[in-house]
Structure formats: C-alpha cells, structure tokens
Chains A and B, each alone.
Chain A
C-alpha cells in the first residue's frame, strides 16, 4: 500500500517504529502532488525545499532519540488564509499578491513549530473563503478527486481535495458557513468545525469574524481528534477564544454510545435535500441506533431564515473586514495612480478583488448603511438569537443533532457559478451551526449512484467536541468506508 493511503496515526506509528523515515513520507506526498495536482489543483503554492529539509532534520532528531513533537513530521496542507511566517498568503485573491505574513497564526505555530507537522504547501480556496465550490479563486478552480468534472465544494476545496487524493495527511481549513464541512462532504473526508472560541483565530484572515472558525480536514476521525487536541485552547491574543478545558479527544473516541440521544430535525431532511443523501444519512442513523444510541425528533423552526440571516451577517462583517485591502501597506496596488487617494484605493480594490467578493462587500455595505442598518443588520442579529434558541431548545431533548451535511453531492464545475442565490442555498444545513456557534463534524457515510461521497453531519452542544468525535468515530468504524480511495486520477 502506498504511504499516502495510510491514516495519520498509522504513519506516526510507522515512524516511531522506524518502519519509515520522515523524508520518505514527505517525498511521497510531493510525488503524489506531482502526479495528481495537474488535474486536481489542490495547491497554489508548495513549500517543497523547506519541507524536505525539515524532514531530514526530523529524521536525524528521531534517530538520536530527540523529540520532534507529537505529529512526527506528518505532511500538513494549509488553507491559503492561515498565516505562516514568511510564506505567501493570498486568500486566493489578486489583491494580496506578494504578501508574506511576518508572523505565525496560533494554529500554525502549534502544529508546525511545536508539534512537528511539516507544512507542504498552501491550498486553493474561494477568494477570501467566499464560496461553496472553490470556483472563486483567482488561481482558477480545484477539481473533485472523485470526479474531476465536479467541484470539490468550498471554500476549503483545496484542503479537502488534497486529503481525499492522498496529497497530504493533515489539512487546515476555516469554516464560516460550512467552508470545511461542505468540501469535506463533497470529497468524502472528515471535516471538523469546532465551537466558536474553541480554537484561536489569531492569524486567520477574517471573512466574517463572528462566524469564522479554524478547523481540520483529515481522512479519519482519529486524526481529527489528534489535531484538535493540539490546536484547541485559550489564546491570549484572541479575546474570543475561551478558557475551557481541552479534552483528551483521542482517548474519548472509543467510548460506547449507550443511551446517547440523537436529535433528528425534520427541517434538515426537507424538500431541498436530495433523496439519495437523505436515505444514506437515515441508514447511518439506524447504524448508530444499533450501536446503542436512541433517537428523538427535534425541530429547528427558524431554519428557513438561516440562509438569509447568515448572508446578511457575513456580508456585513466582510464589508468591514476586507476594508484594509487598499494596497497601501502590502499586497498589490493598482499601477494607475491617477487621481486622489480614494481613486487609487477604488481602482486597487476593483482590480484586485473578484466578482463574488465585490458583490458581498457591496451588499454588506448596503446592509450596514444608515437607514438600512436596523432593517437588515439588527434584524439579522435578532434572528440569529432565535436560531441559537432553537438549538438550545433541541438540546433539552437530545445530546446531539444528526443530519446531512450538504443537500446534495458534488455538483458539476460551472453548474451554479452564474446563480449565486442557488449557490448560497447550499449552505442551508451548515450555516445554522455557525450562526449558533456550535461544533459540528462531517464524516463520509456512503456514496450516491454516481459514486460520489455523501456527508453525515453531527452537531454538538457548545464545547462538546468530545461528544461529536465519539459519535463520528463509532459511525466511521461501523460503516468502514473511510479507507476507500479515490479512483485513479487521469
């Protein structure tokens, strides 16, 4: 079996047992990228020389019995909006061309500098994480490894595709309205969006800062638990990060599901959800019942308002978060310096920001404007509270909520690009989780008739990552499809 088909924890064992060396592992990742990425386009920037150099250093350290951190040089793909000191970070936007952050994000500091993951490159994404298909990147789209005529989902499409295709073992993503779970679902891998505040956002380039959360994409739940143990926790540099005990997630996975109550919200199985998806998810719920869980019907009555609420809020926040890109201090300024400072700023932003980003800035600016603020922004905040309350009501009756991650499987490249509203509707099952700030995980639970992966979503109560990882792990082991590899990529 090729190295890239192993799980992360298995590779760590092999390194510890000296069956393989880190350099071979990193080399195999780059070999896999070499042979597949001209068709998938997961990566927009590689860090090959540095990664191989690091691998050699680690091998020497391991040989000498020195510590290299708990990740033992596993190859890590980083979404192009999480800062790594000195490595180009563009958010897949022309406006950040040439920008090299002078500092590490909290998560990259932990994973790379402290725990020995080796950064192999940055992955493609929708520009500034705005999109559900990775078609809005200034570098062009990423293609789904299961079927390269289809989208990988978005916005962390590059990260999910790199894991699905075995180019990387671990990947970072960010999830504002489903940006980890959507591509993880479409690419048949595990995607975790932790509770808002569980993982520091320091060094994550903001799209909508009250909704953004860093998370992980891996092939299996165990690897996700391993990563979360490292990246979770209070960071003094992020005021919104929370000082709540970080569990030993990897040790909690194997606990039995006895008496766990799963809430099944009928709204999440509504008309817009594809029948194959519905039946696959329902089958998985039966499996969980066979493992000792029970189910109860719950309701999220305001689900129908979530997409509108989500888009109003994320666009409003984005209009402010993205105001700093004026080309003055970093990134790409317009070559045409005619007129006053406002002319140059406008031209720079017009040339540097893509259509979807500009659309969201326009709409967000509008929603925050005098006279519209109460009608749109304030109202959306109120609905957000209602949605939070819906979940809290549901959690009085159950421990977890289980549902599909996406209403459908991966769609064709270009299928929805001209219809933003239809694209926005794809977030209907994921964005309520962000509005409420809850943790959620998606794991592959089956395949549709086109052999495309289907995602199963488990939504936990606040800071119950332990719980959703436990359910996810049990289901994953029971279904036993997580080792299924993508078809040969040609």
Chain B
C-alpha cells in the first residue's frame, strides 16, 4: 500500500519558555535559572508550599499579547486559569496552573496563522489557540532515564512561564513542520519575548496520523531540529504497521532522542484524566483594547513585513528576502551594513546579501552559531565588498578571509597579512620579477660579474610589493629567470 504525503496529518503543540521575562509566572523568583545551583531559585509559591498563593506576573500578559498579535490571533478580553491535575515529582502542587478552552474556560487567544513557503508554494498553517501555563520542575537523570539509578528534582525551573501554541492538524509533511517552526521561531525572536537558542526553551508534542487511521501523540521533542526527525520516524513507523496489515491504535508515544525512535507511553484507555477545573486562587484577568492597541503600537516590524520591505527597498529577490529576515540579528546586520555606506546601490545590496546568504551562512551552519555569537561586524563586510571592488583583493581571496572575519579580524589587517601570503603565488612573483629585470639592465649587467647584485634585484621586487614577497621564493625565481636570461644572452 502506498501512502501519499497529502494523506499525512500533523498537528503540533509547541511550548515556549518566555525566557526574556525577569521573574517567573506566579512569583518573583528569577526566571533565569540556567546554570544555577539546583533549588536555589525557589520560594514558597513556586515549590507549592502549603498556604502559598500564585499572583500573575503582569509582564506575562504583555508578552503574550505581543505574540498573539504577531500570530494574528484573536485575543480574548477576559481569560482565567485552570488547574490541570496529575501526580508527578516535577509538579510540586500536584497540579499545573494552565488554561483550558473547554468547560467554560478560554484560551489566552484563539486562531491565528503562520504562512510558510515550501518549494515555491505558500501555505497558511492555521493555529487553534495560544495559552499560558507554568513550567514544571526539571528532572535530572544520570545518563538515560531508563537506566539512571536515581531521579533528582531541580525546582529552579518550576513556575517559569510557558506559552503553548497549538496548531490545527493541517501540516502535511515533516518539511512543512520544519518550515512552520522556522517561521514561528523567527516571529518569537522578533517579538522579543524569548531567546529560543537557549537549551530547553522549546518543547514540542506532535499529533501524527495517516488519514483515516488513529493518531498517535509523540511527546518530549526537545528542540525544533528534532521535530522533523521525530515526525519522519513516526510516519515510517505508522506506514510500516499498515504495510504489514496491522492496526494503528490511538496512543501516546515518547521521542527518545538518544535512540531516535518513538516508544509507546500509554494507550487511549490509560490516558490520564486531568480533571481540569478553574483555578480560583486567581481572579479572571481583563485585557482591555486600549492596552492591546498600546502593545500593538510598540510591536516591532515582523519578519513578513520586513521581507516585503527588503524586496522593495533593496530590490532583493523574494527568496533572498524571505530567508534573510528569518534571523532578526542577521537581517539587522544586513541593514546596518548596507546603510552604513551611502554610495552602496542595488548592486552592492545584492552583493551584500549574497555574502551573508552564502559564505557567512555556510560558516554559521558549519560552526553551529548565530551571527550574534560571532565577532564579525556589518562594517567588516562593507570593507570586504569595497576591497574587491577596488581591486585590492580577488573574490577568491575575499572568501578565504571569512573564517578570520568571523572571529573579529578586520579586512585591512587581513589584506596586509595576506599580502605576504602571496609568496605562494609563483606566477605573481614571476610577473614582478620580470618587470624588475626588464627595468634594471644595469643591475643585470653587474650581476654577471658580481652575483651579490641579486640582493639588489630582490630588494627592487620587495619595494614594488611593499615587502610582501617571500624572499627565498623570490630569490629562486629571480635566479631561474636570470640563468635563462644569461643563457639567452650567451646564445
């Protein structure tokens, strides 16, 4: 049996930590728990001590509005929290304060969409809702979860604010999912609510089914990169089961990123009943339209708008502008660079873009870094382009500068340094040597009697190239030339 890709149905639930908050969702503990001593960023509220009560962090509302606006969601003017009840060591209250869109509950915002582009096709991935919830504690194991002799609990993460983005089941391939997440990541970065480069700042659950069959939910996908991999695996697994004539069952599976397989967690019959009901320690939160408008007016340009502007302002291609704006820092780099040199025109705009999209992107990918983590400045790239234009260096040499530029060496220093490196360019030395020989017949004459006159010729070559030639190679080439020349003269 053959299954077409359009028969695959994927829905994603993405949990994003609002890492740019200063404090946790319901208490004043620092949100920045990474790299801290375990269980030091805690208080009676985030470890759920008896008698403690949550209070909503006001900044969270603003951040959530930013994202909701950026995703084109409909923000509910009133929302409240629900309790999701289950027992687990990472959950100090025995329930997670979350939101629920059934049983009289409302999400923070409904609907919304993200437009993706794949193989020159556009597609809107429709969202169901976004909502807020608290992060559970972090469980620490020695090695793999299944073989660790113990589980340690670090409550520093407990109570950190998560925003959950739920897509409709409209994604039809792992590639689409990848593009969707790429766009989402970009939008989140532009809103300034989170730094998704931080480890553990993203968690994804995926619902996957083949049309007409029961779905499985794959949990614990801990990075955007893993999602595509997990989806591919799960689709193949489901297809194989159908091929063998077996039945697919509705179940929850766990993505084991070490073994790169999904493993069964529980079947539908054993699904947990979370007994959602309203969290009455918190009063319903009202969001008035004036506040939404205020946040909207402060919202920076989003990647989509920026891409459109880049096409107009810099005459970039749709493909280039789409990709250039994905990483905000990358796009900022571009704009700062091209604007810093007023004589730059559309040709340079294109060149500048090409350098970023090709050589620099390649270096970043190979080194697994973002532009912000490197030392290259927009000015460096301007200098590089100008150096090529002025004939100081060739494009090939410019390419060889990239690794040095990325660690902060400037173009001028590289040209000087690389000048000396041209010693390996025998043809270049030959060219210089010929000129020197042609222009200095007196020294050549002298050379016949006095071999020490060679030093004078080397000196002339050096002077011509500001001392950039390798003296030994120059000597060798000059000697070769002179011996030929002598022969010629003798003949």
Contacts and interface: CB of A to CB of B under 8 A. Distances in A.
A243 to B, nearest CB: 12
B39 to A, nearest CB: 10
A324 B93 contact: yes
Contact of A320 (B92, B103, B275, B283): B275
A369 B88 CA distance: 18
A323 B55 contact: no
Given A328-B153, A365-B275, A320 B83 contact: yes
A435 B87 CA distance: 29
Size range of the chain A interface in the assembly: 35 or more
Given A101-B50, A341-B89, A240 B94 contact: no
Given A320-B94, A324-B92, A326-B87, A368 B53 contact: no
Contacts of B355: none
A206 B44 CA distance: 14
A210 interface: yes
A103 B44 contact: yes
Interface residues of B, number: 31
Interface in A325-364: 325-326, 328-330, 341-342, 345
Nearest to B280: A210
B95 interface: yes
Nearest to B56: A239
Given A320-B95, A320-B275, A328-B153, A83 B280 contact: no
A86 interface: no
B265 to A, nearest CB: 14
Given A204-B51, A238-B53, A102 B92 contact: no
Nearest to B274: A370
Contacts of A205: 50-51
A316 interface: yes
A99 interface: yes
Interface in B267-300: 273, 275, 277, 280-283
Contact of A316 (B47, B153, B273, B277): B277
Contacts of B283: 239-240
A482 B93 CA distance: 43
B47 A329 contact: yes
A237 B50 contact: no
B354 interface: no
Contact of B277 (A81, A341, A368): A368
A64 to B, nearest CB: 36
Nearest to A103: B44
Contacts of B386: none
Given A209-B280, A323-B95, A365-B275, A239 B53 contact: yes
Contacts of A219: none
Contacts of B94: 320, 322-326
A323 B153 CA distance: 18
Contacts of B50: 81, 83, 89, 91, 96, 99, 101, 205-206, 324
25 contacts: A81-B50, A83-B50, A89-B50, A91-B50, A101-B49, A102-B44, A201-B53, A202-B53, A204-B51, A206-B51, A209-B281, A237-B53, A238-B53, A238-B55, A239-B281, A240-B282, A322-B94, A324-B48, A324-B50, A325-B94, A329-B47, A368-B277, A370-B275, A374-B103, A377-B277
